Amino acid sequence: MTMFRFLALVLFAGVHSASSPPRIVGGEPTSVENYPSIVQVDTINPLDNMWLQGCAGSILNIRYILSAAHCFEGSSFSPILRRIRAGASHRNTGGSIIYVEHAYNHPSYGLRGFDGDISVVKLISAIIYSPVIQRTSILSQGYIIPDNVPVVYAGWGQIGNGQPPSSVLLDVSVLTVSKEICRKGYAVLIDSPEVTENMICAGLPEIGGRGSCNGDSGGPLYLGNITIGVISWGGLCGYAAYPGVNTNVASYSDWIVATAV
13 CB-near residues (< 8 Å, 6+ apart):
214
Is 117 an active-site residue? yes
The residue from 70, 166, 171, 216 that is catalytic is 70
Tell me, what's the pLDDT at 2?
34
Tell me, what's the pLDDT at 250?
98
Inter-CA distances, 179 with 17, 18, 56, 145, 195, Å: 25, 28, 25, 11, 7
Is 70 an active-site residue? yes
Domain range for 112 is: 36-135+253-259
Per-residue pLDDT tens digits for 189-220? 988 999 999 999 999 998 999 999 999 999 99
The residue from 20, 67, 89, 217 that is catalytic is 217
Residue 245 burial (CB count, 10 A): 31
The residue from 42, 117, 171, 216 that is catalytic is 117
Low-confidence ranges of the chain (pLDDT < 70): 1-23
208 and 107 part of one domain: no
Tell me, what's the pLDDT at 76?
81
159 and 214 part of one domain: yes
20 and 46 part of one domain: no
Count of domains in the chain?
2
Which CATH number do you get for residue 196?
2.40.10.10
